[in-house]
Amino acid sequence: MLTEKQLKRYADVLLWGLQTAKSRLIARNDIVLIRFDLAAVRLAEILFARLLEAGAHPLMRLNPTAAMERDFYSLANSKQLIHIPPGEENLFARLNGSISIFAPESMTHLAKMDPQKIARSVLSKKKMRDVLDKREAQKKFSWTLCMFPTGELAKHARISQKAYCAQVARACFLNSASPVIEWQNIFKQARRIKRWLNRLPVTALQVISENVDLHISLGEKRRWVGISGRNIPSFEIFVSPDWRGTQGRFYADQPSYRSGNYVRDVRFKFENGRLVKIAAKKGRAFVRQQLAMDKGAARIGEFSLTDKRFSRINRFMANTLYDENYGGTNGNCHIALGSSYSNTYAGKPVELTPPMKRQLGFNESALHWDFVNTEKKQVIAILKSGKEVLIYENGKFTH
């Protein structure tokens, strides 16, 4: 397991992430929600003390156990499934920060649950996420999240728990005397790449690998963002494109776990922005059900690239947070189906109204599911002049 010293460094990095995402220090009387699984209670305790020392008001919430989640989706009636506790919306309207620590005791406990019941519950929570999205756009709220290594994660990644912990420590720089300095250095390097990308007058992207041939329309008023502190670890630089211009095929060679279901070798085909074909060696029915969750679930909401010079993650970790930041030999690109990110709007996100989102092609959905490709690839930017610029090759940005 992680040592006490590593846990304290992990807390340092999470607080750095929360502050960096909001562009200011935690203020006295800030309300910060900490959600955590039982296995991560020690890390939660350290964060609790650190927030008290900063003068903030930490609010602790233990996530449901695997048994609770299984009972909920087995036993909940239609009203219980979508119930939001009294006062929850008022709380979310006053939150200044959120730290989520995921430490799953089970990866497959929801595998036999009705996907439609899960989807209805997820949909009912969207309005709460909309409240936080609005506060984030107003710079009143920030968030970060991390994963705490467990035996269950190690089992599904097919490595020992010791090796799994070592990969987490390596990815988050927890063996460094000052991991925050390591993150600050990556933050500065990524900022230079984002400035370069955002100066290019890009209209579209072409992604080419052995099993990917995908055309993505970037859309108007877009900007590349990423490595902002919102995920620990995060090495990706991404944009939310105009979903209407997606054409071609995409292949996810990385497996994925979602709601207890394992999916592998997923292939998509897009025409005029719409998903017209879904194939998978494992979990095809579940993928199809999830992508039918709402109108926007089967549309692209994000395109992302990870530079292998930043990421120390070099194997499958059975956790999307790590797998979408895979570095390895070839880096990775991934697409997310479902919701887009308002912070990739080149103007002020707070001014991005629902009608503007629709006009600009920002996708709306209760779903956000990342599908990762780690093949050797090229990404070509097509400029307004028609000129083509190679922006990513051999797992690295060309800047």
pLDDT > 70: what percent of the chain?
A: 100
Q: What is the mean pLDDT of residues 128-134?
A: 91
Q: What is the CA radius of gyration of the chain?
A: 20
Q: How far is CA 234 from CA 197, 303, 324, 327, in A?
A: 18, 14, 9, 11
pLDDT digits (tens, 9 = 90+) for 324-357: 999 999 999 999 999 999 999 999 888 889 999 9
If you average pLDDT over residues 164-186, what whole number do you get? 97
pLDDT tens-digit profile of 248-291?
Answer: 999 999 999 998 899 999 999 999 999 999 999 999 999 999 99
d(CA 69, CA 216): 37
Q: How confident is the model at residue 298 (pLDDT cuts 50, 70, 90)?
A: very high
Q: Would you place residue 206 in the very low, low, confident or very high pLDDT band (cuts 50, 70, 90)?
A: very high
Residue 115 — pLDDT band, cuts 50, 70, 90? confident
> How many angstroms separate the CA atoms of 180 and 13, rounded?
6
Contact 240/357 with Cβ under 8 angstroms?
no
pLDDT at 92 over 90: yes
* Percent of the chain with pLDDT strictly greater than 90: 88
- Confidence label for 112 from pLDDT (cuts 50, 70 and 90): confident
Q: Band of the pLDDT at 180, cuts 50, 70, 90?
A: very high
- Return mean pLDDT, the chain: 95
| CB of 45 closer than 8 Å to CB of 111 | no
Residue 119 banded pLDDT, cuts 50, 70, 90:
confident
Q: Do residues 254 and 316 make contact, with C-beta atoms less than 8 angstroms apart?
A: yes
**Under 8 Å between Cβ of 291 and 298:** yes
Cα–Cα distance, 235 to 264 (Å, whole number): 23
Q: Give the separation between CA 118 and CA 73, rounded to whole angstroms.
A: 7
CA separation (Å) from 295 to 17, 290, 292? 33, 11, 7
Q: How far apart are CA 11 and CA 14, in angstroms?
A: 5
**Long-range contact list for 184-189, CB < 8 A, 24+ apart?**
184/16, 186/227, 186/235, 186/310, 187/20, 187/227, 187/228, 187/229, 189/310
- Above 90 in pLDDT, residue 160? yes
Least confident of 103-107, 126-130, 214-218, 250-254: 126-130
Beta-ladder partners of 209: 377
Q: For residue 348, what pLDDT is reported? A: 87
Q: Which residue, 232, 369, 387, 221, is CA-closest to 304? A: 369
Q: For residue 270, what pLDDT is reported?
A: 98
Please report the pLDDT score of residue 236 as a whole number.
Answer: 96
User: What residue spans define the domains of the chain?
Assistant: 4-177, 183-397
Report whether pLDDT(395) > 90. yes
pLDDT band with cut points at 50, 70 and 90 for residue 70: very high
The CATH number of domain 4-177 is 3.40.1830.10: yes
Strand partners, 266: 252, 280
**Does the structure show a pLDDT above 90 at 307?**
yes
Measured CA to CA, the distance from residue 94 to residue 96 in angstroms comes to 6
Give the ranges where the chain is alpha helix by DSSP (H).
Answer: 4-22, 41-53, 66-75, 78-81, 88-92, 115-124, 126-137, 151-157, 161-171, 179-199, 284-290, 320-323, 354-360
Instruction: Give the residue from 274, 223, 210 showing the smallest Cα distance to 246.
Output: 274
Q: Is the pLDDT of residue 47 over 90?
A: yes
Mean pLDDT of 82-101: 96
